[in-house]
Amino acid sequence: MPAITLAGKQFDVDENGFLQDPAQWSDEVALGLAQTEGIEKLTDEHWKVVRYLREYYMKFHVAPSIRMLCKQTGLPLKQIYQLFPSGPAKGACKLAGMPKPTGCV
């Protein structure tokens, strides 16, 4: 199983660099994961998305629908793509320390 070092600590990740254990997540880890996504700096808007995803995931054990994400964060999809170039289901979920949404997505 691949591992990466974030904020000086080792983490197991899957083939796509998603945390294996969502419980290990922290703000520092999110910052580290941002680097792997090529995101230099996390703005308030980044955090808004990440925190919303995180909150939803902790409650429901799955990512929210894209529409809900946009609505609840007040950010249009285009802007989410600007914040997370690989998209809400990949980049944003990775930073939120949750598993990669798979299925027909």
Which residues contact other proteins by CB under 8 A? 1, 15-16, 59-68, 71, 89-90, 101-105
Residue 26 or 71 with smaller CB distance to other proteins:
71
Chain centroid to CA 8: how far? 19
Write the DSSP string, 50-95: HHHHHHHHHHHSSPPPHHHHHHHHT--HHHHHHHSTT-IIIIIHHH
Joined tokens for residue 32: 């580290």
Residue 7 or 77 with smaller CB distance to other proteins:
77
Residue 70 annotated to the active site: no
Q: How far is the CB of 15 from other proteins (least distance, A)?
A: 5
Residue 7 or 68 with smaller CB distance to other proteins:
68
Do the beta carbons of residue 14 and residue 3 sit within 8 Å? Answer: no
Joined tokens for residue 28: 């520092």
Q: How far is the CB of 74 from other proteins (least distance, A)?
A: 15
Q: How far is the CB of 104 from other proteins (least distance, A)?
A: 4
Catalytically active residues are 104
